[in-house]
Structure 1
Amino acid sequence: MKYVILIHSDPQPWGHPTTDFVAEHQALPAEQREAMGQAWEKAFAEVQERGELVHAEALGAPGASSLYRWQDGRPRVTDGPYSEAKEVIAGFFVVDVESRERAEAFAASFAGPGETIELRPCMGSD
């Protein structure tokens, strides 16, 4: 079963990993941030070792994006970001796992103070 894990982040300031730029995360004691980072690294290594990682990508700053919309019978382009929302997609991971529970366990490893993580099944996935 394929799932995409979407990492939402505030576009100001922009950078990766997003936790380095999230005020709520940075307000935690250094030892807690370190422990959370190690837990995520362990979860990521496990997904890689099990062959479940299909693809992962950090995305560039939203201001560098373009939006194409159909208007007046043809595509029109505008500068990014594409949304008026506070948060934008900062990156994504695609995993191919045996169950939703397995996908949920990996997605939960991203969740921390100030983070918004979205788990969504890919269409056509059982």
Structure 2
Amino acid sequence: MWPTSTRRSPWPESGPAPSRSGRPSTTLKTPAADRSNFEAHRSSYVMRRLPMKFVLLFVGTPEDQDRFERMTPDERKAAMAGAGGWFHEYTQSGKIVGGEQLQGPKTVSTVRAENGQRIITDGPFIESKEVIGGFAILDVKDRDEAEEIAKKWPAGPVEIWPTVEN
């Protein structure tokens, strides 16, 4: 199993460097992801640390989600203006390297293993009074910087989750 903070790079050492987003600038064919294939081609790959250290989870209640979904397009646009500015600021500075708004819990599916089979059920796995509305992936120097960025989030509560580093 791969450590959670490293992944094999799909780019050969002599190949094109990834863009700032981590994606290659051209489409490359890569070997299958199975371990035996990787071992056979190990010399042509490099190990790179993923550019993330913290994940921010934006949380609210189901009532918040319902209220958001009932907003008119103009109301929703106004509500999102602050969040959009926050994302723009920290993406431009290179502190946010990924993130998305999530659809509500009514759209979630969960896959579980039961008796050797995979079962898909509607709804989130975790029963909670809070809803994850979105996330941002931060590449910052330490927890203090992550906390400073989270404090400037213009909406509801934010959870700060450090990623595992090996």
TM-score scaled by length of structure 2: 0.53
Residue in 2 that maps onto 1:6: 57
Aligned: 1:107 with 2:158: no
> 5+ residue gaps in structure 2?
1-51, 72-78
Post-superposition shift, 1:15? 6.6
**1:18-33 to 2 correspondences below 5 Å:** none
Deviation at 1:48, TM superposition (A): 2.4
More strand by share: 1
Q: Does 1:117 align with 2:158?
A: yes
CA distance in 1 between counterparts of 2:114 and 2:98 reads: 33
5+ residue gaps, structure 1, are: 21-33
Q: Which has the higher contact order (CA 8 A, sep 6+)?
A: 1
Pair 1:15–1:108, CA change in 2 (3 A): farther
Q: CA deviation at 1:44?
A: 4.1
* Aligned CA-pair RMSD: 3.0
Match of 2:141 in 1: 98
| Deviation per residue, 1:21-71 (Å, 9 max, x gap) | xxxxxxxxxxxxx9xx49x93x54442232111011000111111011111
Name the residue aligned to 1:26.
none
- Per the TM alignment, residue 76 of structure 1 is displaced from its structure 2 partner at its CA by 1.0
Shift of 1:7: 0.8
Equivalent pairs, count:
105
Q: Which runs of 4+ in 1 moved over 3 A?
A: 15-18, 43-46
Query: 2:42 matched to which residue of 1?
Result: none
The 8 Å contact of residues 6 and 118 in structure 1, kept in 2 or not, is answered as: yes
- For normalisation by structure 1, the TM-score amounts to 0.67
